[in-house]
């Protein structure tokens, strides 16, 4: 039966690739090319860092292996957290589970099949992301291609052990608390773990390894981290095996490889045995729907409707979306990650080696693009899918006495306050940290207010141009060709805004605004202001109108 399930997965994968046509083919090719370019850029970055470390006298080769162990330990932790979140879906909420249980398959077979899905889905991106580092390490140390092949070989038991920790955790938690609410709690805890690992790694300031003036304290710095030197973690076993392979110590390599394989085999045999006792209780409890207690009294929207009856439709829709956000733990888990992103962003701004006020002001000006990109990336997760996430209920929305313009406007009003808050916080705190002058502070703050409106409206517009009401996973919307076009349009929009504002900032640096206002300067300021407003208007109006027309024509 296991062989049949494997063949079924391979056949489904082949059919999916063979059925790619038209826009899907273009999207897949574009995303594949973009991913390949990113891996190439990562390779050159890693190669430069590793080559620099390798040339440090006495401790250079040790540093590169310590960095490898640190990276593998972080990879191990990230796979554990990812497997906790993914295993909740694959083991208990996968759409084909009821069909599989209706087939002549044992629960152990179904469990192991879904455990294999968890291992693959939780680790493949990390394995590919670390591959440029391994290839760069191979090139710097002058090793053969067998070194990279050994990495891929060691990754099989390594990712199996990391994912097993998350699978076993989900198995125990769902057995002890067999409820659909347990998945929500796990999502929040998983997001907290990811945010903690991300923030702690950034606050550890690994860039100190690249500063020549701090080389005398590298040994203490690595000892303080202690992560790569944990001998009982599989990440260190992989590191020792790779060191042994590079030195030609085949017995040591075989020993650590055998240890990884043996441990993974023992762990999965144990899970296959205990799943008979734990799995079905958690699966049965997960099938129930969570209950939400109704609130007492009138909600804010109900009170506002009594004062503004003409806005009853918009306020009712806003009430619905607000309750969905409050009840869905996935949104709260994403908020945790956003807070971690903002913290690391501001910390990185503070750590920039800037000395002169002019350079600080210039960085504050360029920070408009960075903050706008953060807002656009968050919009790709929340704003762009807003229309599509109505799903099967879209026909119900169309049957209501509400115009599509009102639905789109309500989605915009739901997403705009949070996007504006994030953008303003990033800009204002960055300006405060870098001590920007009044002109740059006001310009960047006003710009980010317009940018958040433009990017958020573009998200709703592109979401209406490329809706998918049959999607089951929101991540598929983010990686769709609609999401790709939305990010491309957002980057072009940000580039135009910064390009238009470059002239006033240049004149300000030269002290031009302190003197008398000439006709040429007045003409330049007027042109830049008109261009700024025109770009913002077109960025909102074009995708909004096209998306509105697309939804109106949709049956």
Q: Is the pTM of this model over 0.85?
A: no
Residue stretches of the chain with pLDDT short of 50: 212-216, 221-222, 224-229, 292, 296-297
- pLDDT on residue 159: 92
422, 446 in Cβ contact below 8 A?
Answer: no
The three-state secondary structure class of 464 is helix
Q: Give the chain's length.
A: 555
- pLDDT on residue 157: 93
What is the per-residue pLDDT across 86-104, written as a single tens digit (0 to 9) for each? Answer: 887 788 777 777 777 777 7
- pLDDT on residue 399: 74
The three-state secondary structure class of 469 is coil
DSSP letter string over 157-196? HHHHHHHHHHHHHHHHHHHHS-SHHHHHHHHHHHHHHHHH
Please report, for the chain, the start and end positions of each structural domain, with discontinuous segments joined by +. Answer: 30-177+206-286, 312-553
Instruction: Select from 279, 329, 328 the least CA-distant residue to 91.
Output: 279
Measured between alpha carbons, how far is 399 from 407 in angstroms, rounded to an integer? 12
- pLDDT on residue 516: 57
What is the per-residue pLDDT across 181-234, written as a single tens digit (0 to 9) for each? Answer: 555 555 555 555 555 655 555 555 555 555 544 444 555 544 544 444 456 778
Place of tokens 């191979």: 138
Helix spans in 177-299 (H): 180-203, 218-225, 234-247, 250-286
């Amino acid at each position: 039966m296991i062989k049949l399930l494997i063949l079924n997965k391979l056949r489904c994968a082949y059919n999916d690739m063979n059925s790619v046509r038209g826009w899907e083919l273009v999207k897949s090719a574009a995303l594949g090319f973009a991913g390949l370019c990113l891996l190439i850029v990562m390779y050159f970055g890693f190669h430069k860092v590793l080559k620099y470390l390798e040339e440090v006298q006495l401790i250079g080769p040790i540093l590169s292996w310590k960095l490898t162990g640190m990276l593998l330990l972080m990879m191990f932790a990230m796979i554990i957290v990812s497997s906790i979140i993914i295993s909740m879906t694959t083991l208990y909420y996968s759409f084909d589970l009821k069909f599989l249980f209706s087939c002549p398959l044992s629960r152990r077979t179904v469990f192991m099949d879904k455990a294999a899905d968890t291992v693959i889905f939780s680790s493949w991106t990390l394995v590919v992301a670390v591959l440029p580092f391994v290839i760069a390490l191979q090139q710097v140390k002058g090793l053969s291609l067998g070194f990279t092949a050994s990495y891929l070989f060691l990754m099989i038991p390594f990712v199996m052990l990391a994912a097993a920790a998350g699978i076993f955790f989900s198995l125990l938690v769902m057995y002890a608390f067999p409820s659909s609410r347990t998945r929500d709690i796990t999502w929040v805890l998983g997001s907290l773990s990811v945010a903690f690992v991300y923030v702690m790694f950034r606050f550890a300031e690994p860039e100190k390894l690249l500063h020549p003036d701090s080389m005398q304290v590298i040994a203490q710095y690595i000892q303080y981290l202690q992560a790569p030197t944990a001998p009982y973690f599989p990440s260190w076993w992989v590191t020792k095996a790779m060191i042994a392979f590079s030195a030609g110590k085949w017995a040591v390599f075989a020993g650590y490889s055998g240890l990884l394989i043996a441990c993974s085999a023992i762990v999965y045999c144990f899970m296959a045995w205990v799943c008979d006792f734990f799995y079905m209780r958690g699966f049965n409890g997960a099938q129930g729907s969570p209950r939400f207690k109704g609130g007492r009294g009138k909600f804010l929207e109900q009170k506002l409707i009594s004062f503004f009856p003409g806005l009853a439709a918009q306020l009712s829709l806003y009430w619905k979306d607000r309750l969905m956000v409050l009840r869905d733990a996935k949104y709260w888990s994403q908020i945790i990650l956003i807070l971690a992103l903002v913290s690391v962003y501001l910390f990185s701004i503070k750590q920039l080696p800037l000395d002169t006020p002019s350079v600080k002001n210039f960085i504050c000006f360029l920070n408009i693009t960075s903050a706008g990109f953060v807002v656009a990336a968050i919009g790709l997760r929340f704003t762009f899918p807003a229309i599509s996430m109505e799903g099967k209920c879209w026909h119900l929305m169309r049957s209501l006495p509400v115009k599509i313009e009102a639905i789109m406007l309500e989605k915009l009003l739901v997403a705009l306050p949070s996007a504006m808050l994030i953008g303003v916080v990033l800009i204002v705190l960055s300006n405060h940290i870098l001590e920007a002058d009044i002109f740059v502070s006001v310009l960047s703050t006003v710009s980010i207010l317009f940018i958040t409106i433009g990017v958020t409206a573009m998200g709703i517009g592109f979401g209406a141009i490329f809706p998918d009401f049959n999607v089951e996973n929101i991540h598929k919307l983010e990686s769709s060709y609609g999401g790709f076009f939305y990010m491309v349009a957002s980057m072009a929009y940000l580039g135009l805004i910064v390009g238009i504002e470059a002239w006033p900032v240049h004149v300000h640096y030269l002290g031009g605004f302190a003197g008398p206002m000439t006709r040429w300067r007045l003409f330049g300021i007027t042109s830049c202001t008109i261009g700024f407003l025109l770009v913002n208007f077109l960025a909102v109006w074009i995708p909004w109108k096209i998306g509105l027309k697309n939804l109106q024509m949709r049956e």
